[in-house]
Amino acid sequence: MTKRYDAVIIGGGHNGLVCAFYLAQAGLKVRILERRDVIGGAAVTEDFHPGFRNSVASYTVSLLNPKVIADMRLADHGYRVIERPYSNFLPQDDGRYLLLGGGLEKTQAEFRKFSNHDADVLPQYYDALETVADVLRDLSLKAPPNIGDGVKTLVDAARQGRRLAGLPLEKQRDVLDLFVKSARTFLDGWFESEAVKAAFGFDAVVGNYASPDTPGSAYVLLHHVFGEVNGKKGAWGHCVGGMGKITEIMAKVCGDLGVEISLESPVEKVLVDGGRAVGVRLVGGEEIAADRVIANVGPKLLYDRMIDASDLPADFLRRIRAFKAGSGTFRMNVALSELPRFSSLPEPGEHLQSGIIIAPTLDYMDRAFLDAKQFGMSKRPIVEMLIPSIVDDSLAPPSQHVASLFCQQFAPELPDGRRWDDERETAADVIFDTVEHYAPGFKASVIARQIHSPLDLERKFGLVGGDIMHGHMSLDQLWSARPMLGHGAYRGPLKGLYMCGAGTHPGGGVTGAPGHNAAREILADNSFLGRLMRRA
C-alpha cells in the first residue's frame, strides 16, 4: 500500500468536499478519490458546445446550508447567488399562466386569476409549511437517533423530538399530513384551482419517480422548500459560474487545509480486514490504506459494487439490496440562438428568470408517470426549464443563451428489453416537442443539445438508476432509516466505514448537510474535539 491516511473519501461531490473540510480542519490527513477528471460530482459546470457552458446535472441553488456556506467561507472565495425574481412560471393549456413567488401580495394577485379562495388561504398554507420546514432545517444538521444504540438512542430521540412535540396540535397534524399523504391529497385540503395545485405539486415529483398521487409524495414537496438564498427562506437562485463554481471553491478551501484530491482515481473495492474497512483499491490496482473509509456514493453503488458480499452481515446485505433507488430524471443542456417565447407570455421578462414549469396540472404529472411505467417514457413529460445565461453572461456568447432542461418521467430501465442508448434521442425529441407546444419556435432556436438519460446519469456520475437523490425519499428511507435502521447516523456495518452522501439524512439536493453531519460523527468517534463539535 501507499502512504496511510486518517480518512479516504470515495467521490468528490459536494458532500465529500464538505466532509473533507471539517475533518481536515480538525487536523486529520484526508484524501479524496474522484473517478472523473473534474471535481464536484453532479455539481459541475462544463462546456457542452463551443462557446456554451452550463451546470451539467445539478442546476439551481437553495438547499445549500447557510452554516456550511459560512464555515467554508465560500462567499470570500467568489460564491455568489442571484435570486430568482419569481420562483416558477407555469404556462397553462388554456393560454393563461401562473407566476409563483415575488412576495406574498404578488403571488396572491396571481392566484386570484384562478381562485379567490386560494389567494385568501395562501398565508395560512405558507405558515403551515414554514413551521414544519423550520423543524426540518434544525434536524437537517443533526445525526438521526441511531436505532440500536441503547440509552443513547432514547436520549437523541427525545432531544430531536422536543421541537415536534412542542408544536401546537394543528401543526403536528400538518407534520403527519406531509409525511404520509400524497401531494394531491395534501394540496386538495388547501386549494381548489388545478393550476395552483400544480404550482406547489411540482416539487413533489422533482427527482421522484412517482405520481403526485403516490402516498408520501407530500414529503418530497416539503423537502424542496426548506432551503434559502441570501437569507431568504424558500428562495431559489443561480450560482454565478454555474454549480461547478460551488465545488470549485470548496475544492480550493479543502486544498488550503491540506486535503489531497486525486482525479481519475476510480475506486474498485473497499478493502476489509477482520470486519473493518482498512482502505480501498483503485481500478488500476493501487491500494490506499486509511483508518476510515468514507463513501460519498449512493448506498446501491457502495454495497452492491464496491464491497464483497462476504464482508457484509447477511441481514444487512439482504435489506440493503432492497433499498429503493432509481429516478425518472432525464437531464438536458441546450444552446439557443435566442430566448424562447411562450404563447401565454411571449415577450421577454422576469418570468424567463424563474423556473419555467411545463406541467399545468396534477393530472398531467400523473399521466406522465403512468406513461413512464407502461411505455418507459412520458408522451408529454414534465419539464422544468431554467435559462441562467440571462443573468450570467459567462455561459453563452452575446445575444445567445443556454437552457437547463430538467425532465421527468423517464423509467430508469426501459421495458421490453429496450435500451436507453437506442432511445435517448427519441426521448429528447419528445421533450423538445413538449416545449414547442408551449413556446412555438423553440426547436428552431436550438443550436446544440447535451443529453443525459437515466443511464447516462449513472455512467457519468455514479447515480444508480439516474437517481439524483441516491435513493427514494420515501418514509421507509428517511431520517433514522436512511439508508437503514441501525445505520442512520452515517456509520456503515463495518468498523471504520462511514457514509456522507445523499443516501443518508437529510437526503438529496446540494445541501452539504450529510457531509457536515458525517464529519461530526466521525470526529465524535475519535476525539474530545469531535465530541464538543457534536454538541454544538
**Domain harbouring 264, CATH code:** 3.50.50.60
Same-domain status, 221 and 261: no
Q: Residues 218, 181: contact at Cβ < 8 Å?
A: yes
Query: What are the residues facing 404 on neighbouring strands?
Result: 333, 386
Question: Of 177, 206, 230, which residue is a domain's last?
Answer: 230
Same-domain status, 145 and 226: yes
Count other Cβ atoms within 10 Å, centred on residue 73: 11
Residue type, 251: A
Q: Is residue 351 part of a domain?
A: no
| 3-class SS letters over 269-307 | EEEEECCEEEEEEECCCCEEEECCEEECCCHHHHHHHCC
Q: Residues 81, 237: contact at Cβ < 8 Å?
A: yes
Same-domain status, 180 and 110: yes
Same-domain status, 149 and 264: no
Backbone angles phi, psi at 347, to 5 degrees: -80, 150
- Residue (of 336, 446, 439, 331) closest to 389 by Cα position: 336
Q: Is residue 276 part of a domain?
A: yes
Same-domain status, 219 and 306: no
Number of residues written out for the chain: 536
Residue with cell 482502505: 279
Same-domain status, 277 and 164: no
Q: Residues 291, 496: contact at Cβ < 8 Å?
A: yes
Per-residue pLDDT of the chain (536 residues; tens, 9 = 90+): 567 999 999 999 999 999 999 999 999 999 999 999 999 999 999 999 999 999 999 999 988 999 999 999 999 999 999 999 999 999 999 999 999 999 999 999 999 999 999 999 999 999 988 888 888 888 888 888 887 777 676 666 667 777 777 788 888 888 888 888 999 999 999 999 999 999 999 999 988 899 999 998 998 888 777 777 788 887 899 999 999 999 999 999 999 999 999 999 999 999 999 999 999 999 999 999 999 999 999 999 999 999 999 999 999 999 999 999 999 999 999 999 999 999 999 999 999 999 999 999 999 999 999 999 999 999 999 999 999 999 999 999 999 999 999 999 999 999 999 999 999 999 999 999 999 999 999 999 999 999 999 999 999 999 999 999 999 998 899 989 999 999 999 999 999 999 999 999 999 999 999 999 999 999 999 765 444 444 44
Q: Is residue 338 part of a domain?
A: no
Number of domains forming the structure of the chain = 2
Q: Is residue 179 part of a domain?
A: yes
Q: Give the span between the Cα atoms of 304 and 323, in whole angstroms.
A: 11
Q: Residues 176, 189: contact at Cβ < 8 Å?
A: no
Q: Give the span between the Cα atoms of 62 and 46, in whole angstroms.
A: 21
234 CB-near residues (< 8 Å, 6+ apart):
62, 87, 130, 133, 225, 226, 227, 228
Element (H, E) at 498: strand 497-499
Q: Is residue 503 part of a domain?
A: yes
CA 468, 474, 480, 481 dihedral sign is negative
pTM: 0.94
Same-domain status, 204 and 274: no
- Residue (of 404, 357, 402, 413) closest to 381 by Cα position: 357
Question: Of 230, 251, 281, which residue is a domain's last?
Answer: 230
Same-domain status, 216 and 286: no
Same-domain status, 122 and 212: yes
Q: Residues 356, 494: contact at Cβ < 8 Å?
A: no
Question: Quick one: cell of 5?
Answer: 491516511
CB-based burial label for 242 (10 Å; 0-12, 13-18, 19+):
buried
CA 510: distance to chain centroid? 5
Going by the DSSP 8-state scheme, the letter that residue 416 receives in this structure is: T
Same-domain status, 252 and 222: no
Same-domain status, 226 and 192: yes
Q: Is residue 529 part of a domain?
A: yes
Domain carrying residue 171: 100-230
